[in-house]
Structure formats: structure tokens, C-alpha cells
Structure 1
């Protein structure tokens, strides 16, 4: 029995010694077809480096400046028209109190001092207050909406997601610029422009961008007696941004950015649609607050199911307040 096993093992060793490796034939590099890629490649920096949006393992929506212009997106609040998972709401506390949410998740409070659960990054710099969402979109190269927690790459305050905005950098090769002017209802006036100036050809350039928007309020404000005292929900804001960018032959690229923006937009008038029974029963009047509880709107529904009365109150665009809201 031992002799048979030894002979069998010797036969296996002989077979393995006679085997020769097989090699695949190399493809001729001259006849190999070139790799063709779609020219409509979207480059994003959601992973802190430039990559094709199809190659990154993240849930991200990339928005081009052409899409922003086509949908008339003028600030971060209106991005939801292009990225439905992103929402922004403005509270009735102050003109700078904005609540941002991604996939319905965000900061529950609308306190202007609270930091948002959706981080905003402009040219790689974190914006600590969501009120920047009200500033103008001008000279933007790309907007990226990152869905889900982004703490690994973007740090704190990104538990719901992040908004990564990249502005157009200075062009060191040629002089250029643009000017846009628009006029709309409620005497809305919008001016946007940018100028790019090479300082050292192919090496150093400067780019200056500016925007101005002004619009009358679309809600009339009346006092408790129904007298018109002004309007609210207007827009009055401007922005200026300056950049110095360089691009050397060694591949070293960089830029220095400085910007300043200011908003004096008043906010946020609310139309009362339904008066509670406490008003109609005279409870407010009994304590000296007037028959309507201090509300001087000409049209308010007293029936919680009167859809027609709700629509008339909205169409009147009249709110009641002790004074006109002022932002400074």
C-alpha cells in the first residue's frame, strides 16, 4: 500500500513539473481603439478634489450656471427648483433667519444665531450662518448639493448635507467680462456684472464681480384701524467680490478672495387667513385690544372651511402690524 501511494505522489510531481505557464498576447498599441468619453463631462469637487460626477461614491446633484439662468435661480433659497431634495424656508423673525434642509432634515429652530445642519461652502470656505443663503448668485461656476452626512470631508455642521458653491476664478489668458440688467414687477431692478483683467499674461489676473437688486414690497402694511402705513417683503441688497488668481507653469494655482455684501430687505409680513373664535366672540375687545384683536386687514375668514375667503385674503396682499418692518 505504501509503494502505491509513493508512486502516485511521484506521478503528480512529474505532471506539475511539465506544466508551462500561459501568457496572454499583448494588444498592439498602434491598432488599439482610443478611449472615447462623452464630451458632456461634469467635474465636481464633492470629494475635495476634481472628479467626474459619475466616478464619485456620493449622492450629489451638480448644477451648472446655464441651469441656474434657465430657472431664474438668484439665490440659494431657490435651488430647490433644480434639486428637490434641498429646501430653504425663511422665518418670520428676521431677514437673515433661514432654515436649510436636505431630505427633510435640518435645524429645527429658526433662530438666527443657530448653526445649520446643512453646511454652506463658498469656494471652499465654510459659512457659519445660513443667512448667506439670501445673497446674490452671480458669476457662479458650479453648485453642488451633497445629500447625507458629510462630516468626513467637510467637518462639523454637515449632518444633513452640504452645499458646495464654486465661483468663476480669474482667467489669466484674456480680458473679458459681462453685464446683465433686468427689470420686473414691483419695480424690481437687478444689475449684475464682472470684469476679468490679466495683470501678468498667462500668470496673474484680477476679477471683480458685483450685483445689486432692489424691489418694492409686495405686501401692504396697515395698522389696527386699517390705515396704510407702508409695505414689506421688499428686496434691497448688493454684493461685491474681488479675486486675485495665479496659474504658473509649474502647476501652482491659487487665488485670494475678498467679498462684502449687505442686505436691507424687510421681512416677513404674514397674511392672516382665519380669525379664531376668540376674536369673533369679543374676547380681545373685552380686554381693550379692539374688535379684531388689533388686526386691521380688510378681508379675513371667520370660517375655517371657507376656501373662497382664504383666496380673497391672499389676493388682497394686505398684512396688519403696529409698524412697518425695517431691516438695518
Structure 2
């Protein structure tokens, strides 16, 4: 296995190195071209703040990719989702803003189960403010100057501990020179997008910037039930900032933003049906036959038709205020970042994924407030520099959800052998009212030292001490109609007077009231050691070891019940992840910095990996998913980035990643659908055999992790020629960008029904630009590739697989002015 891994890694490195060798000749550096997907200066440098100070990215011994704001605009990457087409080791999966996962190198967040009680492994920072929930970072980019994607643990440099990496977004600051820009884009599917920003001084010491962005687009799925297009876009964002410079040594930036997404969204549609081990008369085909005349609009998901009958909404409002003080004190800079952010999530979902009224409401509106304070000092000298800091984070999340069943629930959810399944009133109108609360506190101190032992060798140790505390409440009150027509509590309490009522007994098998108050608190110590060595001018080698922790959590979506009906509190807590990370790489520039080639190898092992499991609590009468820990996970691979600018006319780039990934040991994982749905017993029956016994859980050791492609690439180029249009001198240009991902699993445990085949996406643009004007046409997914972003197993083991579809081919035009 190791030999195959090394051979594959060397093959990728050799292929990319061969491209650099042909270009290694001397020439004069070209002028800037902002369409290259890096933020290059005229000297070939890319200036980043990954280590909390400004420096050339080639001098930073971290695997890091940088995207300039101009390149993002040119390539239509106006949100985090679209970054995945430019970053091979960045994975983004979303069925709606709350059910969103972003991973780097395949790790960061558990796949497929939303739970407010755990942390992200990838940190999102906008202007140095930490965004704790990915849902609050699904905004359209507004006036972005640069995005840095840092891969690997970053806890000794950043405010919140992150075990997988960080995405550091910097917006354009207020300017003391009056400037502005505006752009309008229109396209098919009714696409309309407008952006504008203006900046300038109020005085010699005070400047301001105001930016706004609005996006609107018709949905890509037609709902025949409601005669509407769903999964639309309807976004608006406003950002403002004031910069006060009372002296040369002090800078105070006050920022505020407000964002609203209010689309008709989000529906997952019929993808396919697979056979499970449930009784044949309880699988999808037999269940739908119980409703004469019902038929799914299309069994081809790429017809983009659905018949979802519940209301859909994905209203996502978020914003906040921040104050950043930067004060130059002697040889260093003291920085304070104070921020408050809020998130108001108002969803409406159809969670039976059909046009039948099984569930008429599954809505979990959520409100969040978070407060952060970061204080750090960055010191720089000839032989020694360091960053020391402290970070405080407090978050409140309040969810008041409701779930309600409809008249089709009895036939869909009860066994046909139960006479009550033929009475729609039995399960109609079961209402679960959920009160879910989280108080989340995190405190940390951290530091990183860079000791320049010689002119070539630098040793950089780092350390972090972290304290985390989570206090939660889960209170679900479930009521239904008893056989005598009264509304009664559905409970596992055997002393309740209606416990043995046949209707409430049937309802209890669907859902019952539950209350518990989980808590978690712990200290942990993270540390890392980095060595970098300058092999030659513009050639640096580096190696890193990091011992990191992802804090533990609590289950806030309910837990299985024991045989006596009490909640299984032993699974209410989620243990911390323990990460051992090894990385080595080489960064090079050549041909007078016209060319850049970086290569990185990494090896990450995680103990107690936080993952989705299915109830294995003895005596539990309802299968229930929750978060627990896989014993051990390994992710390893190699990444390479190559870019070249042979002349003012042409630039090109190629990035690639090979990732080997597996559960090293995970013996109690949730079973895939082909091994689920039957009676729990031994021996388990053959996969996909109706009526066969099913294992209580499955050993998936040696299997793939979800969401990770073994191979991923992104590449592109742009060519321009001098041109004159309407008397204006400028450049005519043609640009091309593409990406490829190989097959990956889209289920927590790999299933024969949920692998997503590899696909490639190709984008083109053609335009004319001058210093202050840009007009271009674009086409994205130019070859109209049909592919799934995700596939999901729907509840109940009916065999129905739902799909989240990627965008079809889109095209349009953009006009942009600046002054």
C-alpha cells in the first residue's frame, strides 16, 4: 500500500515538474495581469497575511493557495461553493445553508448529519473575524481583495482552533484616494447580478468604503405540484467600513455587514431507488403503489422535475459588527479584533422527498449570536519573530423547530400487517415541537516563534492551550391523537395513562418526546514544529509536524432511547478528535519569477474521528442517527500547484491533488442502505435482499471516507492581444478554466447506491478590457455536464435516494467599470 502511494505521488510530481522544465529560461518579468488566479505583484510576489503579518507567500512554509479578487470576479467565483472548482483539495457540500459542510483534504466536518453541538474543522475568517457556522458564511463575496486557503492545522496562529485548515478572506479596505467600481451581469435562467463599491476620504485621518452585491436567478428544478422553479438564488449583501488613522502608528477599522438570502429552496429530488433489507411491501415501489395515481414526475433526475408538496424556504439572514485596532509598538504590532455576529435561519423543508403528504412540516428555525475577542502581538527582528495571542469566543444558539406528519404517514410509516396503517388518521397530525439550546464557550492562548538559525534555516515551534465548554438542552414535546380523539403526549414513560393506547403506541414507534441536558468541557494542548530551509534562491523546502485537537461536542438532535424509554445519555457527548499531522513540501519560483511550482506531501491520522453513527443502544425501538467517534481515520496525499506567465499575452495554471483516504478502524458505523432495514439478527442476510436480517451496525474499516475524490485537478489559461474598440485601446482576451474530480462516496458509509461518478466542468470567457472598463461574455459548465453534487439516503430504509444537482450550462455577460 505504501509503495503504491509513493508511486502515485511521484507520478503526479513528475508530470507537473516536466511542465516546469520546458519553461525554465531567463526573461524579463511581465506586467501584472489580474486574471491569473494568484494575487501577484509586479515583482512576481504574492503578499499574504497567513502568519498574521505581510510576507511573500513563497516564504511561508505552509501549504497555501491564494486567489485575487480580480480573478474571482473574472471566473464567476462569487461564493465559497464556486471555490471548489479552483481548489482541488477543497470540498463543499450543501443541501441548504444550514446543512452545509466544507472540508479541506476531506476532513473538517462530519458528513451528512446536521448538529449544532460540534465544531467545524475548517475556520472561516473574513477580515480576521471568525465565522463559527458555515451557514453564516454562505454569502456572496462583496468587494473581496484576496482569499487565502491554508491547508493543515492552524491553531497556533489563528483565533479558533482549526484542525483541517482555514479560509482567510480579506475585503478591500477604505481608501484615502477616491475610487469606485460597478458591474452588472445578466444571463440565462433569469440571472441578474449587480455589484458596486465606492471609497474615499472624509478627512486626512478618516476614510470609508461602502459595498453592495445583489444576485437573483430562477431555480433549476421545476416543481409540478406548485408550478414553480425551486432552488433559486435571491441574495443581497451590504458591507461598510470606516478607517481612522490618527497617527502613523495607529489604525482603527470599524466594519459592519448585513446579508440576506431568501430563495425558493431547497429541494432534493428523486435520483434512483435501491433495494434494502426492509420487507418488500415496505420499500419505495410498494409504498407508492398504496396511493393510486401517484407517480414521480420523472425517474431521470436530469429532467430536473419534482413534485415536492410541502412549503420550501431557506431564508438565511446574517450580519455583524467588528472593530479592529492595529497599533505599532516598537518592533511589533498589537492587534485587537472585537466582533459580534448574528445568524437568523428560517427554513421550510419537505423531508419525505415525495409529492405525498407524509411529512407536511420539518422546519427548524435557528437564531444565533456570537461574540469574539482576539488580542495578539506580532514581533519582528532580524533573527527572531513571533506571534502571541489570546482568543475568547462565546456563542448562543436557539432553535425552535416543528415537525408534523400528514394523512399519508400511516400507510408510509406503519407496516401493512398493522391494521392501523389503513387508517390515515392514526399518524396524521403528529406534532413534535423542539426547543434546542446551546451555550458555547471557548478560551485559548497561542503562540508561534520563528527562529532564523542561519540565513537559510528557520525553526518555528508553536503551542496552543484551549478550554472549551458546551451546555445544551434538547426538549422535544411530541403530541398525537389518541384512539378516543383526544390530543395526548407521545412518551416512552410507561406510567403515562395513554402509554398502551394502540394509536399512541403506533405513534411512539415514529417519534416520542425526549428531554436531556448534555454538557461537555475539556482542556487540551496543541503544538507544532516547522522547519524551513532555503535550498537556493527562490527555492525553499519545509517540513511540519502538528499535534492538534478538535474539541468535543454534544448531540443536539436527540439520542436513542434505552429499553426503559430514558434517553441514552452515554452517547450524548462526542469525544475530541486527536490529530497527528505530518507535512513536507518544496516551494519554487523560476524564470525570473515568471513560473511558480509548489509541491506538498501530507499524512494525517485522526483518533476518535467525529462521524455519523446509527443507534446501537440495547433495547432502542427506533433507529436514530447521531454523532459519535470512529476509532481511527487516515488521510494522506500529495498536492502540486504550477503557474506560468511566459509573456504579457499568456498566463496559465495547473493544480492537482492525489488523496488516499480511509477509515482505519470504524467497527460501529451506520450500515449502508443495502444492509439496512431488516430485523436486527444474526446471521445478517445478503445485501439488497428484502426481508433479510440486518446488522445493528457495520464495520467499515478500510473503506473510503465520504466526499473525497482520489484525484482532483483544476487548470486554466488566458490569452490576450492588443485591440482598439470604439477608439479605446485595450486588450481582447479569451479565458478558459476547468476542474475535474474522480469518483467519491456521498454517504457516511459507502453504498452501492450513492457513489458519484467523476466529472469535469469547463468554463469560458471572451471579452475586451481597458484600465477602467471590462466587457465580457461567459459560459459556465459549457458542455452541460450532468452530475450530482450529492446523493443522500432518505429516512426509513425505503430505498429512495435523493439528489442535489449541480447547475446546468449557464451563460451571460458582464460589464464592469472602475475609476
- Shorter-chain TM-score category? 0.7 to 0.9
| Equivalent residue number for residue 190 of structure 2 | 187
Match of 1:273 among 263, 271, 274: 271
Q: For 1:68 and 1:270, locate their aligned partners in 2 and report how far apart those are by CA, in whole Å.
A: 28
Contact 1:95 1:267 in 2 (8 A): no
1:200 to 199, 203, 207: 203
- Choose the corresponding residue for 2:70, options 33, 47, 66: 66
Corresponding position: 1:118 with 2:122:
yes
- Alpha-carbon RMSD across the aligned residues, in angstroms, is 2.3
What CA distance in whole angstroms lies between the structure 2 residues aligned with 1:169 and 1:273?
A: 46
Instruction: Give the corresponding residue for 2:80.
Output: 76
Show the counterpart of 1:217. Answer: 219
2:778 matched residue in structure 1: none
1:57 to 57, 61, 65: 61
Q: Deviation at 1:234?
A: 0.4
1:1-328 → structure 2 map (5 Å cutoff): 39-91=43-95, 94-109=96-111, 110-111=113-114, 113=116, 114-172=118-176, 174-201=177-204, 203-223=205-225, 228-276=226-274, 283-285=286-288, 288-290=290-292, 292=294, 296-300=295-299, 313-328=300-315
Q: Distance in 2 between matches of 1:176 and 1:281?
A: 60
Partner of 2:72, secondary structure, is helix
CA distance in 1, matches of 2:171, 2:288: 56
Greater Cα shift, 254-263 or 241-250: 241-250
The structure-2 alpha-carbon separation of the partners of 1:282 and 1:131, relative to structure 1 and needing over 3 Å to count, comes to closer
Find the counterpart in structure 2 of residue 33 from structure 1.
Answer: none
State the secondary structure of the residue aligned to 1:166. strand
- Give the C-alpha shift of residue 157 in structure 1: 4.5
Q: Contact 1:229–1:324 at 8 Å: present in 2 too?
A: no
Structure 1 residue 322 displacement after superposition = 1.5
Indicate conservation of the 8 Å contact 1:170/1:244, yes or no.
yes
> What secondary structure is seen at the aligned counterpart in 2 of 1:210?
strand
SS at match of 1:267: coil
* Structure 1, 109-118 or 213-222: larger mean CA deviation: 109-118
Q: Distance in 1 between matches of 2:43 and 2:127?
A: 25
2:142 and 2:238 in contact (8 A); partners too = no
Q: Is the 8 A contact 2:174 2:242 kept in 1?
A: yes
1:18 corresponds in structure 2 to none
Query: More displaced, 157-166 or 129-138?
Result: 129-138
Deviation at 1:175, TM superposition (A): 1.1
**1:282 Cα offset (Å):** 5.4
In the alignment, the residues of structure 1 paired with residue 284 and residue 238 of structure 2 have an alpha-carbon distance, to the nearest angstrom, of 54
User: Residue 213 of structure 1 aligns to a residue in which SS?
Assistant: strand
Secondary structure (helix, strand or coil) at the match of 2:313 reads coil
Structure 2's unaligned 5+ residue stretches are 1-40, 316-819
Q: Secondary structure at the match of 1:298?
A: coil
Aligned equivalents of 2:42, 2:175: Cα separation in 1: 25
Determine helix, strand or coil for the equivalent of 2:174: coil
CA contact (8 A) 2:66 2:148 kept: yes
User: How many residues are treated as equivalent by the alignment?
Assistant: 268
Give the direction of change, closer, same or farther, for the CA distance of 1:315–1:254 in structure 2 (3 Å limit): same
2:208 and 2:249 mapped to 1: Cα distance?
A: 19
Output the CA distance in 2 between the equivalents of 1:106 and 1:130: 11
- TM-aligned CA distance change 1:100 to 1:269, over 3 Å: same
Q: Distance in 1 between matches of 2:244 and 2:236?
A: 27
2:174–2:241 contact (8 Å) kept in structure 1: yes
Q: What secondary structure is seen at the aligned counterpart in 2 of 1:259?
A: strand
Whole-angstrom distance in 2 between the partners of 1:177 and 1:193: 8
Does the CA contact (< 8 Å) of 1:181 and 1:189 recur in 2? Answer: yes
Displacement of 1:216 in angstroms is 1.2
CA contact (8 A) 1:75 1:135 kept: yes
- CA spacing shift, 1:191–1:284, aligned 2, 3 Å: same
Check 1:101–1:116 CA distance in 2 against 1; reply closer, same or farther (3 A cut).
same
Rounded to whole Å, the distance in 2 between the matches of 1:186 and 1:270 is: 19
Q: Note the C-alpha offset of 1:259.
A: 0.7
Does the C-alpha gap of structure 1 residues 111 and 238 become closer, same or farther in structure 2, counting only changes over 3 Å? same
Structure 1 CA distance for aligned equivalents of residues 72 and 255 of structure 2: 23
Whether contact under 8 Å (2:142, 2:237) holds in the other structure is no
Residue pair 1:285, 1:291 contacting (<8 A) in 2 also: no
Give, in whole Å, the separation in 1 of the partners of 2:236 and 2:152: 32
Per the TM alignment, residue 258 of structure 1 is displaced from its structure 2 partner at its CA by 0.7
- By how many angstroms is 1:56 displaced? 1.2
Tell me the distance in 2 between the aligned counterparts of 1:73 and 1:246: 31
- The answer to whether the 8 Å contact 2:173/2:241 transfers is yes
Cα separation, 1, equivalents of 2:144 and 2:185: 18
Whole-angstrom CA distance in 1 between matches of 2:242 and 2:304: 46
Question: Is the partner of 1:273 in helix, strand or coil?
Answer: strand
Aligned residues of 2:148 and 2:167 also touching (Cα < 8 A): yes
Q: 2-side partners of 1:281 and 1:160: how far apart?
A: 39
Measured at CA, do residues 151 and 319 of structure 1 come closer, stay the same or move farther in structure 2, by a change above 3 Å? same
Distance change >3 Å, CA 259–CA 38, structure 1 → 2: closer
Instruction: Give me the whole-angstrom Cα distance separating, in 1, the residues matched to 2:284 and 2:209.
Output: 64
Larger Rg, first or second structure (1 or 2)? 1
User: If each structure's helix is expressed as a fraction of its own residues, which one has the higher value?
Assistant: 1
CA contact (8 A) 1:219 1:317 kept: yes
CA shift at 1:55, angstroms?
0.9
Determine the structure 2 residue equivalent to 1:309: none
